[in-house]
Amino acid sequence: MLILDSNVWIHAVIFGGKSRSLVEQIIKNGRKSAVNAYIHEEVRCNIDDDHSIDRSVRNRALEQFFAAIGNSPQIRNPDSETVERMDLEAERKKAHHKVIGAFGDIQAKDAPILTLAYQFLSYQPTIYTNDSEFADLSPTSRGIPEISIQYCDLEWGRAEQAVE
């Protein structure tokens, strides 16, 4: 199972390349994946709030993200009510996310992604992230050998148009 951090999803729908190939492994090659309300909202907010990118590019990128997670039976995604209730700041401030962050030596904002992977232990999930600090975490050394985290080195440039 592939769990893509929000930064990988954002890169995939705006820039393509390596991140897009991960999405294609899910959509075209039938790899299982999951997106929770937290990742959904991080992607939506980060794309929507990036005013350095033209509005039409942002709209197209969001359309691609929503289509990918909504139309792919391989991707387990949250219902619309759960997404609507998601408050990113409140989620990051939850005590259990802070504890996970402290014990894992990661930022509390990464804990919901790790928690999502933990919910699918039987699928031996691999988290792909562009966050090197998060990627440094070794779940195996913390007693969770079923989860792995891979750093995804992504090139962030100026987006002229969304990837097709």
pLDDT digits (tens, 9 = 90+) for 73-100: 999 999 999 999 999 999 999 999 999 9
β-partners of residue 148 are: 126
| Cβ(3)–Cβ(116) below 8 Å | yes
Full-model pTM: 0.92
Domain ranges of the chain: 2-151
Amino acid at 81: E
User: Residue 161 above 60 pLDDT?
Assistant: no
Cα 6 to Cα 91: distance, rounded to the nearest angstrom = 15
The pLDDT of residue 155: 85
**Across 43-67, average pLDDT:** 93
CATH 3.40.50.1010, domain 2-151, yes or no = yes
The pLDDT of residue 61: 94
**Per-residue confidence at 147, pLDDT binned at 50, 70, 90?**
very high
